[in-house]
Amino acid sequence: MTTKATRAVGVDIGGTGIKGALVDLAEGALLSDRIKVATPRGAEPDDVLAAVRQVLDTLGVADAEVPLGVAFPAIVKHGKTLSAANVSDAWIGFEAEAFFEKGLGREIHFANDADVAGIAEVRYGAARGAQGLTILTTLGTGIGTAMLYDGVLIPNSELGHLQRAGKRKDFEAVAAYSAMERESLDWAQWAARLQDYYQHLQFLFSPDLFVVGGGVSKHADQFLPLLQLDTPIIPAVHRNNAGIIGAAALTVGDAG
Ligand code: BGC
Rounded to whole angstroms, how far apart are CA atoms 55 and 50? 9
**152 and 85 fall within a common domain:** no
Is residue 53 a part of any domain in this protein?
yes
**104 and 191 fall within a common domain:** no
**84 and 134 fall within a common domain:** no
Is residue 2 a part of any domain in this protein?
no
Ligand 1 atom closest to 14 (CA): 12
Rounded to whole angstroms, how far apart are CA atoms 108 and 66? 10
113 Cβ below 6 A of ligand 1: yes
240 Cβ below 6 A of ligand 1: no
- The CATH number for 183's domain is 3.30.420.40
pLDDT at position 5: 78
Q: Which of 17, 59, 61 minimizes the C-alpha distance to 38?
A: 17
Q: How confident is the model at residue 255 (pLDDT cuts 50, 70, 90)?
A: very low
**93 and 187 fall within a common domain:** no
What mean pLDDT value characterizes the chain? 95
Q: For residue 34, with 0-12 CB atoms within 10 Å meaning exposed, 13-18 middle and 19 or more buried, which class applies?
A: middle
pLDDT tens digits, one per residue of 123-160: 999 999 999 999 999 999 999 999 999 999 999 999 99
**53 and 136 fall within a common domain:** no
Q: Which of 102, 101, 118 minimizes the C-alpha distance to 110?
A: 101
**164 and 94 fall within a common domain:** no
Q: How many domains, the chain?
A: 2
Is residue 212 a part of any domain in this protein?
yes
pLDDT at position 64: 74
**222 and 141 fall within a common domain:** yes
**183 and 209 fall within a common domain:** yes
Is residue 17 a part of any domain in this protein?
yes
pLDDT at position 241: 94
Rounded to whole angstroms, how far apart are CA atoms 214 and 143? 9
158 Cβ below 6 A of ligand 1: yes
- Does residue 2 contact residue 21 with C-beta atoms inside 8 Å? no
Q: How confident is the model at residue 256 (pLDDT cuts 50, 70, 90)?
A: very low
Is residue 1 a part of any domain in this protein?
no
Cα 72 to averaged position of ligand 1 atoms, centre (Å): 8
**172 and 135 fall within a common domain:** yes
86 Cβ below 6 A of ligand 1: yes
Is residue 121 a part of any domain in this protein?
no
For atom 4 of ligand 1, which residue has the closest CA?
Answer: 144
Q: Which of 49, 76, 218 minimizes the C-alpha distance to 144?
A: 76
pLDDT at position 253: 67
> Phi/psi of residue 239, each to 5°?
40, -125
**37 and 83 fall within a common domain:** yes
Ligand 1 atom closest to 15 (CA): 12
73 Cβ below 6 A of ligand 1: yes
Is residue 96 a part of any domain in this protein?
yes
pLDDT at position 63: 74
Domain hosting residue 62, numbered range: 7-116+242-252
pLDDT tens digits, one per residue of 72-121: 999 999 999 999 999 999 999 999 999 999 999 999 999 999 999 999 99
For atom 11 of ligand 1, which residue has the closest CA?
Answer: 142
Cα 31 to averaged position of ligand 1 atoms, centre (Å): 27
**175 and 213 fall within a common domain:** yes
pLDDT at position 65: 85
Ligand 1 atom closest to 84 (CA): 8
Q: For residue 172, with 0-12 CB atoms within 10 Å meaning exposed, 13-18 middle and 19 or more buried, which class applies?
A: buried
83 Cβ below 6 A of ligand 1: yes
pLDDT at position 74: 98
Is residue 122 a part of any domain in this protein?
no
**78 and 104 fall within a common domain:** yes
pLDDT at position 72: 98
Rounded to whole angstroms, how far apart are CA atoms 7 and 144? 26
* Alpha-helix runs per DSSP H in 90-186: 96-104, 113-124, 171-175, 177-182
Alpha carbon of 43 to those of 49, 85, 229, 252: distances in Å? 9, 11, 36, 28
